[in-house]
Amino acid sequence: MYFWRIKDLKARLQERPLTEREALSYLLVYLVLAAATTVFPMETMNSWDYIIALGVLVLTVAGTVYAYQCNGGANGSHFLQRYFAIGWVVAVRWAAAVVPLFIVLMAILGAPEDTNWHIALYFVIVGALFYQRLGHHMREVAVPTLRSHHTVETDARDPERGSS
């Protein structure tokens, strides 16, 4: 299981898909972390907390669709294992950057008593950038695979592969 070396993981995924056992570790980490979030319920929520929750929901759906498109969409392959494996490494690396940044921002701005627009904006920006990075890495893994799966239509437009 990869934790930090995204280049090694991408090279591995370009070489061959993960085995079912390898993919299982990434799925289990995701499920455990998702389940752990339910252990920490908020006592009170204000309107900004609801905005963050809605933003996370929208970003998750839009970001996952974006990652799917970066993986080649309907012509892509091994989307789920790439999504979980690359997503895990990006999340670990992302946490190493955004948690200290959040602490610094709270030190500068002062820790608010309640969630406010600064925190909501931070989570939206961090979430959007996470999915951008995930899509970037998925595209890099998918591009060699997509190039090797030419269709009749793309081959016909490429003078080196077919008629023009």
Q: What are the pLDDT digits (tens) for 73-89?
A: 988 889 989 999 999 99
Give strand ranges (E) for the chain: none
Task: Find the distance separating the first CA and the last CA of the chain, reported in whole Å.
Answer: 45
pLDDT for residue 141 is more than 70 = yes
Please tell me the predicted confidence (pLDDT) of residue 130: 94
Contact, 15 vs 7, CB < 8 A? no
